[in-house]
Amino acid sequence: MTTSTAPIAARTASAGTLKRALALPALLFLVIFLFPFIAGPHYVILMFSAMGYAIALLGLNLLFGYTGLLSLGHAMFLAIGAYTAGYMTSTRIMNFELILLVAVAIGAIVAVPIGLLCIRYVKIYFAMLTLAFSMLLYSFLFKFYHLTGGDEGIRIKVPTLTVWDLSGLDTLSVLTGPLYYYVFVLLVLLTALMRCLTGSSLGLQLRAIRENQQKAEYLGVNVKRYRLVAFVIAAVYGVLGGVIIAIPVGLADPTIAYWVQSGNLIFMLLLGGYTNFLGPLLGAVVFIFFQDQLMSITEYWRLTFGVILVLIVIFFPNGLMAALDRRRWWST
Amino acid sequence: MLASANILVGGVFHAAVLFLVAAGLQIVFGVQKIVNLACGSFYALGAYFGISALAWAAAFEVPAIAYIPILVGSGLLLAIVLGPSVERLLRLIYDRDEHFQILLTFALVLIFEDAIRLIWGAVPLQTINVYFAFGELRIASDLAIPNYNLIVIAAAALISAAFGWMLRRTRFGRIVRATAENKQMSEALCVDVSKVYMAVFTLGVALGTVGGALVVPAGAASIDMGVELIVDAFAVVIIGGLGSMPGALIGALIVGFVRSAAIWLYPEFELLAIYVIVITVLIVRPQGLLARTA
Amino acid sequence: MTLLQAQNVRKLYGGFCALDDVTLTINDGEHVSIIGPNGAGKTTLVNVLTGLVRPTAGNVTFKGYNVVNLGAVRLARLGMARSFQLVNIFPELSVGETIAVAAISHLRHGERFFSSTARNRPVWEIVERVGAIFGFSGKLDQPAKILSQGDKKLLDVASAFALSPEIILLDEPTSGVSTADKSTIMRVLVQAARQMGIKAIIQIEHDMDIVFGYSNRIIAVHNGRILADGSPASIRARADVMATIVGRQYDHA
Q: Å from B192 to nearest chain A CA?
A: 24
pLDDT at residue C65 is higher than 70? yes
Q: What is the DSSP letter of C116?
A: B
More confident residue, C146 or B272: C146
Q: Encode pLDDT of B213-223 as tens digits.
A: 888 888 788 88
pLDDT at residue C251 is higher than 70? no
| B261, part of any domain | no
Report how far residue C207's alpha carbon sits from residue C172's, in angstroms, rounded to the nearest whole number: 9
Residue A297 burial class via C-beta count within 10 angstroms: exposed 0-12, middle 13-18, buried 19 and up = exposed
Report how far residue A303's alpha carbon sits from residue B103's, in angstroms, rounded to the nearest whole number: 14
DSSP calls for B41-94: HHHHHHHHHHHHHHHHHHHTT--GGGHHHHHHHHHHHHHHHHHHHHHHHHHTTT
Report how far residue C120's alpha carbon sits from residue C115's, in angstroms, rounded to the nearest whole number: 8
Residue pairs between chains A and C whose CB atoms are closer than 8 Å: 123
Is C108 near chain A, with CB under 8 Å? no
Select the residue from B90, B99, B270 to test the A interface by mutation, using most A Cβ atoms within 10 A.
B99
Taking 3-state DSSP, the helix, strand and coil percentages for chain A, each rounded to the nearest 5, stand at 75, 5, 20
Domain range for B146 is: 2-224
pLDDT at residue C75 is higher than 50? yes
Instruction: Establish whether chain C is in contact with chain A, requiring a minimum of 3 CB pairs below 8 angstroms.
Output: yes
How many structural domains compose chain B? 1
Residue type, A66: Y
Q: Which residues of B195-225 are buried (b: 16+ CB within 10 A; e: fewer)?
A: ebbbbbbbbbbbbbbbbbbbbbbbeebbbeb
Report how far residue A212's alpha carbon sits from residue C91's, in angstroms, rounded to the nearest whole number: 8
Q: Encode pLDDT of C156-203 as tens digits.
A: 999 999 999 999 999 888 887 777 778 888 888 888 888 888 999 999
Average pLDDT in chain B: 80
| Contacts with C103 (C-beta within 8 Å, 6 or more apart), sequence order | C109, C122, C123, C124, C126, C127, C130, C162
If we measure between CA atoms, which residue out of C54, C74, C128 comes closest to residue C96?
C128
pLDDT at residue C21 is higher than 50? yes
| B141, part of any domain | yes
Is A123 in contact with B98 (Cβ distance < 8 A)?
Answer: yes
Q: What is the DSSP letter of A151?
A: G
Report how far residue C66's alpha carbon sits from residue C51's, in angstroms, rounded to the nearest whole number: 9
Please tell me the predicted confidence (pLDDT) of residue A284.
Answer: 92
DSSP three-state, residue C29 = coil
Other Cβ atoms within 10 Å of A265 Cβ, number: 29
| B241, part of any domain | no
| B279, part of any domain | no
Average pLDDT rounded to a whole number, residues B236-242: 73
Average pLDDT in chain A: 85
Chain B hits for A139, Cβ within 8 Å: 271-272, 275
Q: Å from B32 to nearest chain A CA?
A: 14
Taking 3-state DSSP, the helix, strand and coil percentages for chain B, each rounded to the nearest 5, stand at 75, 5, 20
If we measure between CA atoms, which residue out of A46, A42, A21, A19 comes closest to residue A32?
A46
**Chain B residue whose CA is closest to A214:** B294
**Chain C residue whose CA is closest to A208:** C90
Sign of the torsion formed by the C-alpha atoms of A143, A291, A249 and A114: positive
DSSP three-state, residue B29 = helix
Report how far residue A223's alpha carbon sits from residue A209's, in angstroms, rounded to the nearest whole number: 6
Range among A56-70, A226-240, A246-260, C118-132 rated most confident: A226-240
If we measure between CA atoms, which residue out of B238, B247, B240, B211 comes closest to residue B226?
B211
| Residue among A300, A314, A317 whose CB faces B117 most closely | A300
| Residue among B279, B288, B291 whose CB faces A132 most closely | B279
Other Cβ atoms within 10 Å of C141 Cβ, number: 12
Range among A55-59, A64-68, B4-8, B169-173 rated most confident: A55-59
Residues 183-242 of C with CB under 8 A from A: none
pLDDT at residue A85 is higher than 90? yes
Report how far residue A52's alpha carbon sits from residue A49's, in angstroms, rounded to the nearest whole number: 5
Whether A183 and A244 have beta carbons less than 8 Å apart is answered as: yes
C-alpha distances out from residue A139 to A79, A87, A145, A195, B222, Å? 12, 18, 11, 36, 17
Is B286 in contact with A120 (Cβ distance < 8 A)?
Answer: yes
Q: What ipTM was predicted for this assembly?
A: 0.88
| B258, part of any domain | no
CA B148 to chain centre: 18
Is B279 in contact with A143 (Cβ distance < 8 A)?
Answer: no
B162 backbone dihedrals φ, ψ, rounded to 5°: -60, -40
Other Cβ atoms within 10 Å of A323 Cβ, number: 12
Please tell me the predicted confidence (pLDDT) of residue B2.
Answer: 64
Is C93 near chain A, with CB under 8 Å? yes
Select the residue from B106, B228, B239, B259 to test the A interface by mutation, using most A Cβ atoms within 10 A.
B106
Average pLDDT rounded to a whole number, residues C83-98: 90
Tell me which of A179-188, A304-313, B88-97, B180-189 is least confident.
B180-189
Percent of chain A clearing pLDDT 70 (strictly above): 88
Residue B105: its H or E element: helix B98-120
Pairing of strands C31-35, C57-62: unpaired
Contacts 24+ apart (CB under 8 A), C7-10: C7/C58, C7/C59, C7/C60, C7/C61, C8/C57, C8/C58, C9/C45, C9/C48, C9/C55, C9/C57, C9/C58, C9/C59, C9/C60, C10/C55, C10/C56, C10/C57, C10/C58
Average pLDDT rounded to a whole number, residues B174-184: 76
Residue B225: its H or E element: helix B225-240
Q: ∠ CA B258-B259-B262 to the nearest 5 degrees?
A: 85
Whether A33 and A51 have beta carbons less than 8 Å apart is answered as: no
Average pLDDT in chain C: 87
Q: Encode pLDDT of C5-16 as tens digits.
A: 898 898 988 888
Q: Encode pLDDT of A255-299 as tens digits.
A: 999 888 998 898 888 888 876 667 889 889 999 998 898 888 888
DSSP calls for A206-232: HHHHHH-HHHHHHTT--HHHHHHHHHH
Angle between helices B98-120 and A259-272 (to 10 degrees): 120
| B102, part of any domain | yes
Whether A103 and A240 have beta carbons less than 8 Å apart is answered as: yes
Please tell me the predicted confidence (pLDDT) of residue B128.
Answer: 67
| B236, part of any domain | no
| Contacts with B91 (C-beta within 8 Å, 6 or more apart), sequence order | B194, B197
Report how far residue A175's alpha carbon sits from residue A177's, in angstroms, rounded to the nearest whole number: 6
Report how far residue A307's alpha carbon sits from residue A300's, in angstroms, rounded to the nearest whole number: 11
pLDDT at residue A321 is higher than 70? no
pLDDT at residue B18 is higher than 70? yes
Confidence of residue A8 (pLDDT cuts 50, 70, 90): very low
More confident residue, A322 or B39: B39
Whether A115 and A235 have beta carbons less than 8 Å apart is answered as: yes
| Contacts with A15 (C-beta within 8 Å, 6 or more apart), sequence order | none
| Contacts with A94 (C-beta within 8 Å, 6 or more apart), sequence order | A88, A157, A159, A160
Average pLDDT rounded to a whole number, residues C19-24: 89
| B162, part of any domain | yes
Pairing of strands C31-35, C200-204: parallel
Is A307 in contact with B271 (Cβ distance < 8 A)?
Answer: no
Percent of chain B clearing pLDDT 70 (strictly above): 88
Average pLDDT rounded to a whole number, residues C78-82: 91
Chains that touch C (3 or more CB pairs under 8 A): A
Report how far residue C140's alpha carbon sits from residue B243's, in angstroms, rounded to the nearest whole number: 42
Which residues of chain A approach chain C closer than 8 Å at the C-beta?
A: 1, 3-4, 7-10, 12-13, 196-197, 199-205, 207-208, 210-212, 214-223
How far is it between the farthest Cα atoms of chain B?
A: 64
Is A12 in contact with C97 (Cβ distance < 8 A)?
Answer: no
Average pLDDT rounded to a whole number, residues A62-82: 93
